[in-house]
Amino acid sequence: MAGMAVGCPPLAAQDPIRASPGRAGGAVPMTMPQTAPARPASPTLRPEHRTSPDWIGRQAARALILEVETWPKPGLVSHIDTGAHQDMDAALLRLSARTLEPYFVALAEAGAADAGMDRLRLIGLEAEAAMRQATGNVNTHRGAIFGLGLLAAAAGLAGACAWRRPLGILIAARWGGEITAKPQEAASHGGIVARRYRAGGAREEAAAGMPSVYDVARPALREGRRLAAGDEEAARVHACMALIATVEDSNLLYRGGIDGLAFARAAALRFLRDGGVGCRHWRWAAKAIHDDFVARNLSPGGCADLLAMALFTEALES
Ligand X SMILES: Nc1ncnc2c1ncn2[C@@H]1O[C@H](COP(=O)(O)OP(=O)(O)OP(=O)(O)O)[C@@H](O)[C@H]1O
Residues that bind ligand X (CB under 6 A): 67-68, 76-77, 85, 93, 139, 141-144, 189, 251, 254-255, 299, 301, 304-305
Nearer to ligand X, 37 or 143 (CB): 143
Q: Rounded to the nearest whole angstrom, what is the least distance from the CB of residue 306 to ligand X in the complex?
A: 9
Which residue's C-beta sits nearest to ligand X? 301
Question: Contacting ligand COD (CB under 6 A), which of 71, 146, 214, 312?
Answer: 146
Go through 136-150 and write b for each residue having 16 or more CB atoms within 10 A of its CB, e for each that does not: eebbbbbbbbbbbbb
Scanning 54-62, 121-129, 230-238, 268-276 for contacts with ligand COD by CB under 6 A, the matching segment is 121-129
Instruction: Please choose which of ligand X, ligand COD, none residue 166 contacts, taking the beta carbon within 5 to 8 angstroms, the exact cut-off set by kind.
Output: none
Q: Rounded to the nearest whole angstrom, what is the least distance from the CB of residue 201 to ligand COD in the complex?
A: 4
Q: Rounded to the nearest whole angstrom, what is the least distance from the CB of residue 80 to ligand X in the complex?
A: 11
Closest CA to 296 of 246, 262, 272, 250: 262
Instruction: Please choose which of ligand X, ligand COD, none residue 150 contacts, taking the beta carbon within 5 to 8 angstroms, the exact cut-off set by kind.
Output: ligand COD
Q: What backbone phi and psi angles, to 5 degrees, belong to 88? A: -150, 155
Scanning 161-169, 185-193, 219-227, 231-239 for contacts with ligand COD by CB under 6 A, the matching segment is 185-193
Task: Tell me which amino acid residue 247 is.
Answer: V
Nearer to ligand X, 131 or 227 (CB): 131
Which residues inside 6-35 make contact with ligand COD, applying CB under 6 A? none
Instruction: Please choose which of ligand X, ligand COD, none residue 76 contacts, taking the beta carbon within 5 to 8 angstroms, the exact cut-off set by kind.
Output: ligand X
Closest CA to 315 of 34, 60, 15: 60
- Quote the CA–CA distance of 256 and 253 in Å, as a whole number: 5
User: 109 and 152 in contact (C-beta within 8 Å)?
Assistant: no
Q: Rounded to the nearest whole angstrom, what is the least distance from the CB of residue 177 to ligand COD in the complex?
A: 14
- Quote the CA–CA distance of 254 and 202 in Å, as a whole number: 13
Nearer to ligand X, 142 or 290 (CB): 142
With a CB cutoff of 8 Å and minimum separation 6, the contacts of 33 are 11, 12, 13, 14
- Quote the CA–CA distance of 236 and 215 in Å, as a whole number: 15
Instruction: Please choose which of ligand COD, ligand X, none residue 68 contacts, taking the beta carbon within 5 to 8 angstroms, the exact cut-off set by kind.
Output: ligand X
Q: At what angle do helices 117-135 and 90-112 cross, to 10 degrees?
A: 160
Instruction: Please choose which of ligand X, ligand COD, none residue 149 contacts, taking the beta carbon within 5 to 8 angstroms, the exact cut-off set by kind.
Output: ligand COD
User: 205 and 143 in contact (C-beta within 8 Å)?
Assistant: no
Alpha-helical segments (H) within 136-166: 142-161
Instruction: Please choose which of ligand X, ligand COD, none residue 299 contacts, taking the beta carbon within 5 to 8 angstroms, the exact cut-off set by kind.
Output: ligand X
* Number of separate helices (H) and strands (E) present in the chain: 15, 0
Query: How far out from the chain centre does Cα 282 lie?
Result: 24
Closest CA to 178 of 25, 306, 28: 28
The reply to whether 156 sits near ligand COD by the rule CB under 6 A is no
Binding site for ligand COD (CB under 6 A): 107, 120-121, 124-125, 142-143, 145-147, 149-150, 185, 188-191, 201-203, 205, 247-251, 301-302, 305-306
